[in-house]
Structures are given as structure tokens and as C-alpha cells.
Structure 1
Amino acid sequence: MPEQYKSLQGFRDILPDEQPYWRFIEKIASEVAQLYGYRRIDTPILEETAVFHKSSGEGTDIVEHEMYNFDDRADKEGKRQNIALRPEGTAGVVRAYLEHGMFQLAQPVKLYYLGTEMFRREKPQAKRYRQHHQFGCEALGEGDPAIDAEMIGLLYQVYSRLGLQHIRVNINSIGDRNCRPQYIELLKNYYRPLLADCCDDCKIRFTKNPLRLLDCKEPQDQPKIAAAPRITDHLCEPCQEHFEAVQRFLTFYQVPYAIDKLIVRGLDYYTRTVFEFTSEVDNVALNGGGRYDGLAEILGGPTTPGIGFGAGMERIILEMKRQGIVPPGETATRVFVVYFGKTPEFKNAAVQITANLRQAGIKAEMSYGDRSRKAQMKQSNASGAAYAVILGDDELANGTVSLKNLQADGMEIENKQIQLPQSELIAYLTGEGK
């Protein structure tokens, strides 16, 4: 028996029954993003690995363990280029912004991407995939706190229009290059005498990413985190004013937010506002975002403020299912064509009628494989179609069809099925011939 192939571990097929969730999210997300003035961008799946090394930071899990990267073929000069499947969306968008001179346009440049595939070689876990999809927004070229509030408000409106409830919005400020270095030293001084009792990951974070000490999930480190100094108590005046303005503007968008002083980002280019959306039902993180005013410089561009988020579409769908939200279904079949004859004339007429219906914008199906009369009628009833178009000997001879109303429960028998010329079928179904 030949080998049966399966999808790779950590990858999955998105089957037809689940497609309505994806189309619904894409519709709502694109409508809201455009409502807020964001324009769509699609970047390549492959980028130079260096783009992600610089944007994600040396020593991070993404760079060290999670990226799919490889050497491409040698070019004409014999040089090989190391390239990677994108693990996240922001770096590619910022690279495109710089490469195509979008910094010369009116600022801010507001962009969104949707259904974009991301790849991470993560340890396979339930509901975590090595290929996942994101909806994301990036606003580049403006540091105004109104942009921060706008972006959070945009995402909250997307979730609201999807029907999601019990969504918790947490925000924080992590300062900037002026005040964060002093806070990091304060944090390290606090942790230094406690380090021997910290988990192994925290001992590494202490040197590489001190802010991530506050991210630790190990039970043994929770009391240390609870007593640690908070960055919001050590913001410089401009950062404090920026954070207060973000909170003020969020009230205009009617976003019910809370301040979570433990939301941090470990990389130096992140500044000021950071935020996360989680489900209050089971505390599942739906997305994260933040301001990254130093990223464009790291990628070789001019100083460029920026803020963005990435929301995993698989997680959104999972939350919709948890909350019992059913997206609008696909358009139902309107007409099912059946034919009661084995000669080529019957098949030709059935295909012609089906093609005419579809070309007129009427969703139609037909029976294939020359099934029996009984099997075809059973198939038409099971299809959910509103009507069956029936071709028998009399209909074929007279150029007519019998149109049976498959949803006509309780209707008088003579009204359930009518006969009309084939030439008048489309007009009848579209209401033009009634």
C-alpha cells in the first residue's frame, strides 16, 4: 500500500468549513483599517535574514531558535545570500517603507497587512502553529500620542465588530532612551542580590534583556516581580506627558483599558506605549503591540517614529469559537439542475442551463456522473438549494424546464412546481419575469 502523506508537524490545512471565519475577519479588519486611513501592503515571504537579526535582536528566541533560514543559490558573482521566512510582519514593512522612499510622503504613512503568513520553528503545542497568519497595522513617521490611541481604538473596533466580548485592553509605558537606561540600572540593582534564586532564563535575561525579567512566568520568580520597581514611577517628563495623552485619547475611542505595569518589551528600539489585548474568559493573549521609534535607524534609515501591532488570526478564530460566534456563511446554492436522461442531449442541456445561471450571477450546481432520477433528487434536496431545475423528456422536447421550489413546505402542491420556457428561467429567478 503506498505511503499516505500528512501535513508537516506544526502546519495545518484550512478546510472549507472553516473558511467563513477567515473571510469574515478579513472583511471586518480591512473595512475598519481603511476607515482609519490605513492602506494595504503585502511584503515578500522571504527577506534577508539580517533584517530579522537586526529587528528582533541578537540572542532572542526568534533569532536563535525559531527562524527558518537558509543560504540561497550563489549569484552571478558567486556570493550566497542568507534568507529567511518571515517570523513577524513589522520588519518587512519598515524595510519597504525605507526602500521605496515612503519617508518622503506626507507623514504618518499608515499601512496594514492581512492574512500574512508568518513562520516560526516553535516547539509544537496545542493550537500553536509553525505557520500562522496575522492582521497587523503599522503607522510610520509620527510620534504623536494620538496615533497610539488611534491604533488601539482601531483594533478594539475590529474585535467589537467581530462580536467578541470580554476583551481586556492593557497598556503601559516603557519610557525612552532618556529615562529607560536609569530604570534598567535600578531594576538590575534590585535583582542582583536575588539572582542566585532566579530561574536559569532570568539569569540570562539579567544580562541580555533586563526588562524581560518582569515577563518571567516561573512561580519561583513571581514574588520578586511583584516587589520590583515599576518603570511608570521613573518616566521622564516627556514620556509621562505622552502616556497621559494616550490615556486621555483612549477615552474618546471608548476603549475600556487598564494600566498593566508589567507589560514590557526587551529590545532597545521599543519606546513608550506598549499594549496587549487578552480574553477575560481564559486570559488568552490575542495580540501585542507597541511603539518602536528606533527600528528604522537599526535597518539603515533616518530616525523615524513608528507604532504597530500584530494580531494572530488563528487566535482570533479560536476566541470566536469559544464565545460561540458564528460568522456569516457562504452564499447558499440558489438552483440545482437535474436531468432525467442518459443521452448526450440531456447532459448538454443541463450544462448549458447551469452555465447560463452562473454567468447571470446565480449560484448554481448540477448533478454529475449520470446518476438515477432518485439519486439526483436526493442530492438536490440535500444541497440546500432554493430551487431544482428539472429536465425530463417533455422539457427537453419543448425547450422548457420544470422549476421546483425545494423550500416550499406547506405550500399548495400546484404552486411547488411550475413549468416555463428555458429562455425565461433567469428572468423568473431574478424577479424580472414575475
Structure 2
Amino acid sequence: MFRYERPQAGRMRQFHQIGVEALGSDSPAVDAETIAMVVDFFQTLGISNLKVTVNSLGDQESRQNYRQALIDFLRPHFDELSHDSQVRLDQNPLRVLDSKDAKDQEIVAGAPSILDYLTEPAQAHWDKVKTFLDALGIEYEVDATTVRGLDYYNHTIFEVMTQSPALGKGWTTIAGGGRYNGLVAELGGPEMAGVGFGIGLERLMLLLEDSQAALPTALPVDVYVANQGAGTDVVALQLVQAIRAFGYSADRDYLDRKLKAQFKSADRENARYIVTIGERELASQSANLKNLSTGKEISVKLTELYTNLPEYIEEENIEEEAE
């Protein structure tokens, strides 16, 4: 992803984003579940000290009514607003509420709340979202100044914040999202409701590093398939798929490297077993199966690997047959 603004701690112009989207339902229960998901995600990673802020932008009618009320409130303060907020006043006045300028924040503290301009359907949606969040035991703050930087949001919007020296002073947003009914249609698709959130990966990594969170290590590959020679590429492809069909993880080389380089890849991936097939093995329709922890190696017919693999990737079987 790319953004065009002044870089900040963990907020670069080029970044990676973890995104979650729930498409097809306008139920407020989906809003609540989406918020619960991101909170649970951070808690699972060991990140505590979270603050969840929620707000509603209502439906289109709610937003139009509020937009004019906000402009009427901010217009007398135009000369006191920051340059960015002066530009936003007519283009997108709701973004003024999101300004980080200290003077702007003082001014908008007295601004009218969009929650006072919700239509009856929008109010009903908002009330249900809060009811569901309460039922899930999620602590949250209603913040009428919370807005999202993108214009397509409507109804529920939310941010998840934390405090960490790695991200600067005060509360820093580490995830944000909301409902965007109408966006799919605006992009040329069908009318479709949607809600989701985004997490900046670089910011998350800084946060985890600062909190010394215990990250999960990559699981070892069960079987690495190494091949070399004419015609072996097809068999290697078939073997990998057969191994995965049994529920095991498998990998192989896709760079046409020598066997020595493939063996090194198997070591780097902490593979438990390695299957090797060359032209000689291909001619006899067999392959070498090696237990990398014990060094024991046997020759197995390809048909056996395709049909009875679980019987061959147990250490005791390899040792027994090798003897």
C-alpha cells in the first residue's frame, strides 16, 4: 500500500496492510464481530493496554445533515484553523474532526456531534452495535470526533489504539475500520454491504518488538521433495500434491537448482523428511525417502508413496526397513 503524507514512526509512505473484509450483510452484529475479531487478534499476540473507540457516521441522509451543521460551526473559526483544515472545510469537513493540530482540536471540541443527526434507521443500527459490543464484553469509548480518512465509510467506524514508546507519545492507532455500504457499487460492482478493518504491518512489528512479544515460529515442513533430471519435474509436482492430500505439509524447488542447493533448502525449512528422485529413480519408478533427524534412508516405489505415504514417514518404519 502507499500513502502520500509526512512519514511518522511506523507510518511510512510504502507499507504493508493486514486487511479483513466481511461482505454481503448490513447486520450490526457483523460490525460487532469485526471489532471483536481485531481486539482478539491483538490480545492473542500479547498486546494489552488497548483502547477501542467507536462512532457512527450514519447513512447518507445523516451525513448530509451533519455536514452542513459542521460547516456552519467551523466557518466562524476559519482563520484559526490549520491550513489543512481550511482546505478540508469545504471538501470534506468531517476530516477536520480528525486533525492532529492542537488548535484544531480545541476548536472541534465544541463542535456538534454527528450522533445528534442520525436518522431513525441509522440510530437503530448504532444502538444495536453498542448492544452487541456490550454483550461480548468489549470495552469501548464512544468518540463522536472519530472519523476515518476515507470518504466511503458510513454507519459504524472504529479505531483500536495503544500506548507504546515505539510509536510515539500518547495513544496511537494500530487498527482502524468500519462499514462501507455502497463502496462496491461505486467501484462498478453490485449493491453490497461491507465492513472491515486494516492493520499496518510495520507499525505492528514495531509494537511487538517493543513489547517483546513471543512470536510463533514457522512450523517445519513435513516432506521436502528434491528432484533433478529429465522428466522428474512432473513426478515431483505429483508427489507434492499427493503428500499434501494426506494432510502433510510439503515443499519443493521451483528454481531448477542442483540437488545440493535443494538439500540446503530442506535444512533451512527444518524438513522432517526428504524425498529425492533422479533419472535413475524415475526409470525404476521409485524414490529415496530419508528421515533427516536420524539419517535413515530407504527406497520406496512411487505407487507406494502415492497411496500409502503415512506408513512410510514414521521413524520406526524407516529404521526397521533400513535394517
Q: TM-score, normalised by structure 2?
A: 0.65
What residue in structure 1 maps to residue 162 of structure 2? 279
Quote how far apart the aligned CAs of 1:321 are. 1.9
User: Does structure 2 retain, via aligned residues, the 8 Å contact 1:210–1:266?
Assistant: no
Are 1:328 and 2:216 an aligned pair?
yes
Quote how far apart the aligned CAs of 1:147 are. 0.8
Query: 1:241 corresponds to which letter in structure 2?
Result: A
What residue in structure 1 maps to residue 19 of structure 2? 136
Within the candidate set 110, 114, 118, 1:235 is matched to 118
Query: 1:200 corresponds to which letter in structure 2?
Result: H
Within the candidate set 149, 162, 165, 2:32 is matched to 149
Quote how far apart the aligned CAs of 1:326 are. 2.1
Quote how far apart the aligned CAs of 1:222 are. 2.0
Work out the percentage of aligned pairs sharing the same amino acid: 39
> What is the distance in 2 between the residues matched to 1:164 and 1:431?
48
Quote how far apart the aligned CAs of 1:120 are. 3.4
> What is the distance in 1 between the residues matched to 2:320 and 2:5?
55
Question: Alpha carbons of 1:432 and 1:223: their partners in 2 closer, same or farther (altered >3 Å)?
Answer: farther
Are 1:226 and 2:114 an aligned pair?
no
What residue in structure 2 maps to residue 295 of structure 1? 183
Q: Which structure exhibits the higher relative contact order, with contacts defined as CA atoms closer than 8 Å and separated by 6 or more residues?
A: 2
Question: Alpha carbons of 1:131 and 1:198: their partners in 2 closer, same or farther (altered >3 Å)?
Answer: closer
What residue in structure 1 maps to residue 272 of structure 2? 362
Unaligned runs of 5+ in 2: 165-169, 221-259, 275-292, 296-314
Unaligned runs of 5+ in 1: 1-117, 333-350, 365-386, 390-425
Quote how far apart the aligned CAs of 1:260 are. 1.2
What residue in structure 2 maps to residue 256 of structure 1? 139
User: Does structure 2 retain, via aligned residues, the 8 Å contact 1:277–1:287?
Assistant: yes
Quote how far apart the aligned CAs of 1:301 are. 2.6
Cα deviation, 1:281-303, whole Å, max 9, x if unaligned, reads 44121111011112122112332
User: Does structure 1 retain, via aligned residues, the 8 Å contact 2:55–2:144?
Assistant: yes
> What is the distance in 1 between the residues matched to 2:140 and 2:318?
51
Query: 2:80 corresponds to which letter in structure 1?
Result: D
> What is the distance in 2 between the residues matched to 1:233 and 1:430?
75
RMSD: 3.5
Cα deviation, 1:365-411, whole Å, max 9, x if unaligned, reads xxxxxxxxxxxxxxxxxxxxxx999xxxxxxxxxxxxxxxxxxxxxx
> What is the distance in 2 between the residues matched to 1:124 and 1:267?
18
Query: 1:309 corresponds to which letter in structure 2?
Result: F
User: Does structure 2 retain, via aligned residues, the 8 Å contact 1:168–1:280?
Assistant: no
What residue in structure 1 maps to residue 194 of structure 2? 306
> What is the distance in 2 between the residues matched to 1:432 and 1:286?
55
User: Does structure 2 retain, via aligned residues, the 8 Å contact 1:279–1:286?
Assistant: yes
Question: Alpha carbons of 1:286 and 1:221: their partners in 2 closer, same or farther (altered >3 Å)?
Answer: same
> What is the distance in 1 between the residues matched to 2:81 and 2:320?
74
User: Does structure 2 retain, via aligned residues, the 8 Å contact 1:205–1:212?
Assistant: yes
Quote how far apart the aligned CAs of 1:205 are. 0.6
SS of 1:191 mapped into structure 2: helix
Q: TM-score, normalised by structure 1?
A: 0.49
The number of residues matched between the two structures is 241
Cα deviation, 1:263-289, whole Å, max 9, x if unaligned, reads 113655321100001104441211110
What residue in structure 2 maps to residue 265 of structure 1? 148
Are 1:205 and 2:94 an aligned pair?
no
User: Does structure 2 retain, via aligned residues, the 8 Å contact 1:142–1:305?
Assistant: yes
> What is the distance in 1 between the residues matched to 2:4 and 2:105?
28
> What is the distance in 2 between the residues matched to 1:320 and 1:266?
25
Quote how far apart the aligned CAs of 1:427 are. 4.6
Quote how far apart the aligned CAs of 1:126 are. 4.1
Cα deviation, 1:239-258, whole Å, max 9, x if unaligned, reads 11111101111123322111
User: Does structure 1 retain, via aligned residues, the 8 Å contact 2:148–2:177?
Assistant: no
> What is the distance in 1 between the residues matched to 2:94 and 2:100?
14
Quote how far apart the aligned CAs of 1:158 are. 1.1
Query: 1:233 corresponds to which letter in structure 2?
Result: D
Cα deviation, 1:106-145, whole Å, max 9, x if unaligned, reads xxxxxxxxxxxx2335544443333322211112221110
User: Does structure 2 retain, via aligned residues, the 8 Å contact 1:268–1:294?
Assistant: no
